[in-house]
Structure 1
Amino acid sequence: MTKVDEHTLRKAQEWLNGAYDEETKASIRNMMENDQQELIESFYKDLEFGTGGLRGIMGAGSNRMNKYTVGAATQGFANYLRKNFPGMEQLKVAIAYDSRNNSKYFAQVTADVFSANGIKVYLFDDLRPTPELSFAIRHFKCQGGIVITASHNPKEYNGYKAYWDDGGQLISPHDKNVIKEVQQITDISSVKFESNPSLIELIGDEVDRVYLEHIKSLSLSPDVIQRQKELKIVYTPIHGTGAKLVPQALKSFGFDSVHVVEEQAVADGNFPTVISPNPEEPAALEMAL
Structure 2
Amino acid sequence: MTTLEKAKLWLTDTFDEETKKTIREWIDTESDELEDSFYRELEFGTGGMRGIMGVGTNRLNKYTLGQATQGLANYLKEQFPNQEIKVAIAYDVRNNSREFGKMCADVLTANGIKVLLFKNHRPTPELSFTVRDKNCNAGIVLTASHNPPEYNGYKVYWNDGAQIVPPNDENIIREVYSVKFEEIKFNGNDDLIEWIGEEQDDVYIDICMENSLYQKDKTGYDNLNIVFTSIHGTTYTTIPKALKKAGFKKIDLVTEQMIPSGNFPTVESPNPEEPKALEMALDLAKIVNADIVIGTDPDGDRLGIAVRNLDGEMQLLNGNQTNTILTYYILDQWKKLGKITGKEFIGSTIVTSDIFYDIANKFGVECKVGLTGFKWIGKMIRDVEGKEKFVCGGEESFGFMTGDFVRDKDSCGSILLACEIAAWCKANGSSMFQYMIDIYKDLGMYYEGLINVVRKGRTGAEEIQQMMKDFRENPPKEIAGSKVVELKDFQEQTSLDIPENKKSVMNQIPKSNVLIYYTEDGTKVCVRPSGTEPKIKFYVSVKDSINSENEFKNKSIILSDKIEKVKKDLKL
Return the TM-score normalized by structure 1.
0.95
1:156 to 133, 146, 150: 150
What letter corresponds to residue 168 of structure 2 in structure 1?
Answer: H
Partners of 2:140 and 2:157 within 8 A in 1:
yes
Looking at structure 1, the residues matched to 26 and 275 of structure 2 have their Cα atoms a distance apart, in angstroms, of 37
2:141 to 147, 153, 158: 147
Q: Which residue of 1 aligns with 2:41?
A: 46
1:259 to 237, 252, 269: 252
Structure 2: any 5+ residue segments left out of the alignment?
A: 283-572
1:139-164 deviation line (CA, Å, top 9, x unaligned)? 11000000000000000000000000
Shift of 1:93: 0.4
Partners of 2:221 and 2:249 within 8 A in 1:
no
Looking at structure 2, the residues matched to 34 and 251 of structure 1 have their Cα atoms a distance apart, in angstroms, of 57
1:87 to 60, 70, 82: 82
Superposed counterparts of 1:169-180, under 5 Å: 169-180=163-174
Question: Are residues 1:286 and 2:252 paired?
Answer: no
Question: Are residues 1:188 and 2:181 paired?
Answer: yes
Aligned CA distance change for structure 1 residues 157 and 205 (closer, same or farther; 3 Å): same
Q: Which residue of 2 aligns with 1:273?
A: 266
Question: Are residues 1:227 and 2:220 paired?
Answer: yes
Aligned CA distance change for structure 1 residues 34 and 285 (closer, same or farther; 3 Å): farther
Partners of 1:112 and 1:195 within 8 A in 2:
yes
Aligned CA distance change for structure 1 residues 34 and 229 (closer, same or farther; 3 Å): farther
Q: What secondary structure is seen at the aligned counterpart in 2 of 1:87?
A: coil
Looking at structure 2, the residues matched to 33 and 260 of structure 1 have their Cα atoms a distance apart, in angstroms, of 50
Looking at structure 2, the residues matched to 65 and 160 of structure 1 have their Cα atoms a distance apart, in angstroms, of 9
Looking at structure 1, the residues matched to 190 and 30 of structure 2 have their Cα atoms a distance apart, in angstroms, of 39
Identity of aligned residues (%): 56
Looking at structure 2, the residues matched to 286 and 48 of structure 1 have their Cα atoms a distance apart, in angstroms, of 35
Superposed counterparts of 1:231-246, under 5 Å: 231-246=224-239
Partners of 1:154 and 1:277 within 8 A in 2:
yes
What letter corresponds to residue 195 of structure 1 in structure 2?
Answer: G
Q: Which residue of 1 aligns with 2:322?
A: none
Looking at structure 2, the residues matched to 269 and 103 of structure 1 have their Cα atoms a distance apart, in angstroms, of 9
Looking at structure 1, the residues matched to 79 and 36 of structure 2 have their Cα atoms a distance apart, in angstroms, of 35
Looking at structure 2, the residues matched to 82 and 230 of structure 1 have their Cα atoms a distance apart, in angstroms, of 53
2:243 to 246, 250, 262: 250
Q: Which residue of 1 aligns with 2:413?
A: none
Looking at structure 1, the residues matched to 18 and 215 of structure 2 have their Cα atoms a distance apart, in angstroms, of 55
Looking at structure 2, the residues matched to 96 and 39 of structure 1 have their Cα atoms a distance apart, in angstroms, of 31
Looking at structure 2, the residues matched to 7 and 24 of structure 1 have their Cα atoms a distance apart, in angstroms, of 19
Q: Which residue of 1 aligns with 2:90?
A: 96
Looking at structure 2, the residues matched to 246 and 168 of structure 1 have their Cα atoms a distance apart, in angstroms, of 22
1:23 to 7, 18, 22: 18
Shift of 1:98: 0.3
Looking at structure 2, the residues matched to 134 and 246 of structure 1 have their Cα atoms a distance apart, in angstroms, of 16
Shift of 1:130: 0.4
1:163-185 deviation line (CA, Å, top 9, x unaligned)? 00000000111111101110101
Looking at structure 2, the residues matched to 133 and 159 of structure 1 have their Cα atoms a distance apart, in angstroms, of 15
Question: Are residues 1:11 and 2:11 paired?
Answer: no
What letter corresponds to residue 14 of structure 1 in structure 2?
Answer: L
Q: What secondary structure is seen at the aligned counterpart in 2 of 1:95?
A: strand
Shift of 1:220: 3.4
Give the ranges of 4+ consecutive aligned residues of structure 1 lying more than 6 Å apart after TM superposition.
Answer: none
Q: Which residue of 2 aligns with 1:3?
A: none
Return the TM-score normalized by structure 2.
0.48
Q: What secondary structure is seen at the aligned counterpart in 2 of 1:225?
A: coil
Larger Rg: 2
Partners of 2:3 and 2:35 within 8 A in 1:
yes
What letter corresponds to residue 176 of structure 1 in structure 2?
Answer: E
Looking at structure 2, the residues matched to 42 and 105 of structure 1 have their Cα atoms a distance apart, in angstroms, of 21
What letter corresponds to residue 265 of structure 2 in structure 1?
Answer: P
Per mean C-alpha deviation after superposition, the further-off stretch among 33-42 and 66-75 is: 33-42
Compute the RMSD of aligned alpha carbons: 1.2
What letter corresponds to residue 100 of structure 1 in structure 2?
Answer: R
Looking at structure 2, the residues matched to 127 and 43 of structure 1 have their Cα atoms a distance apart, in angstroms, of 31
Question: Are residues 1:78 and 2:73 paired?
Answer: yes
Looking at structure 1, the residues matched to 7 and 88 of structure 2 have their Cα atoms a distance apart, in angstroms, of 33
What letter corresponds to residue 234 of structure 1 in structure 2?
Answer: V
Looking at structure 1, the residues matched to 240 and 107 of structure 2 have their Cα atoms a distance apart, in angstroms, of 34
Q: How many residues align?
A: 282
Shift of 1:86: 1.9
1:250-289 deviation line (CA, Å, top 9, x unaligned)? 1111111111110101000000000111111111110010
Looking at structure 2, the residues matched to 229 and 170 of structure 1 have their Cα atoms a distance apart, in angstroms, of 41
What letter corresponds to residue 260 of structure 2 in structure 1?
Answer: A
1:54-80 deviation line (CA, Å, top 9, x unaligned)? 100000111100000000000001111
Shift of 1:224: 5.5
Looking at structure 1, the residues matched to 151 and 246 of structure 2 have their Cα atoms a distance apart, in angstroms, of 34
Per mean C-alpha deviation after superposition, the further-off stretch among 224-233 and 122-131 is: 224-233
Looking at structure 1, the residues matched to 28 and 222 of structure 2 have their Cα atoms a distance apart, in angstroms, of 62
Looking at structure 2, the residues matched to 54 and 18 of structure 1 have their Cα atoms a distance apart, in angstroms, of 26
Q: What secondary structure is seen at the aligned counterpart in 2 of 1:192?
A: coil
Q: Which has the higher strand share?
A: 2
Q: Which residue of 1 aligns with 2:63?
A: 68
